[in-house]
């Protein structure tokens, strides 16, 4: 009985630790936080090809782009929209089995034209590799955004 309680307690502590610590996020000088050196992050503002992925392009107003993105994000499972500001959205995605948390940010830089570029950063809070999960998620969001 004591062994079973210990296993349950250790499992609980392990799963609670899977959420990780929230990293410093947000926009500073028109840039999202850079990706770490680990391969569990992608960003449209990355300067290295390991982490770089194309931004989302949109013709219209920034508000229309943000509304469309929020509609898409609201359809995705295990998604929590954390921050919605005029030019920024932050979302937390939680994996189904181990409850790992990925932080995803979308940044809508100010523009004088109707060509909107949505920059983003998607990164796992813990671990080294995400087996491409962040890249796949962003590609899914970008493809859905184009079809919408």
Q: Are 105 and 120 spatial neighbours (Cβ–Cβ below 8 Å)?
A: yes
d(CA 14, CA 26): 28
User: Can you give the pLDDT at residue 146?
Assistant: 92
Q: Are 91 and 82 spatial neighbours (Cβ–Cβ below 8 Å)?
A: yes
Q: Which residues of 65-99 are buried (b: 16+ CB within 10 A; e: fewer)?
A: bbebbeebbeeeeebeeeeeeeebbbbbbeeeeee
Tell me, rounded to whole angstroms, the distance of Cα 61 from its chain centroid.
Answer: 22
Tell me, rounded to whole angstroms, the distance of Cα 102 from its chain centroid.
Answer: 6
CB-based contacts of 51, cutoff 8 Å, min separation 6: 35, 39, 41, 42, 43
CB-based contacts of 123, cutoff 8 Å, min separation 6: 23, 35, 36, 40, 41, 42, 43, 102, 103, 104, 134
Q: Are 117 and 106 spatial neighbours (Cβ–Cβ below 8 Å)?
A: no
Residue ranges and CATH numbers for the domains of the chain are: 2-147 (3.30.310.80)
Q: pLDDT digit of tens for each residue in the chain (148 aa)? A: 555 544 433 343 344 444 466 678 999 999 999 999 999 999 999 999 999 999 999 999 999 999 999 999 999 999 999 999 999 999 999 998 889 999 999 999 988 888 999 999 999 999 999 999 999 999 999 999 999 8
Q: What is the reported pTM?
A: 0.83
């Amino acid at each position: 009985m004591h062994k079973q309680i210990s296993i349950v307690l250790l499992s609980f502590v392990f799963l609670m630790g899977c959420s990780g610590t929230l990293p410093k996020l947000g926009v500073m000088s028109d840039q999202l936080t850079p990706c770490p050196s680990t391969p569990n992050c992608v960003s449209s503002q990355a300067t290295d090809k390991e982490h770089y992925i194309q931004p989302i392009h949109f013709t219209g107003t920034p508000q229309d782009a943000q509304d469309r993105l929020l509609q898409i994000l609201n359809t995705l499972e295990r998604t929590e929209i954390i921050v919605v500001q005029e030019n920024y959205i932050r979302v937390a995605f939680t994996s189904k089995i181990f409850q790992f948390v990925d932080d995803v940010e979308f940044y809508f830089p100010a523009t004088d034209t109707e060509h909107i570029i949505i920059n983003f950063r998607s990164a796992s809070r813990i671990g080294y590799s995400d087996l491409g999960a962040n890249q796949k998620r962003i590609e899914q969001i970008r493809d859905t955004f184009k079809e919408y």
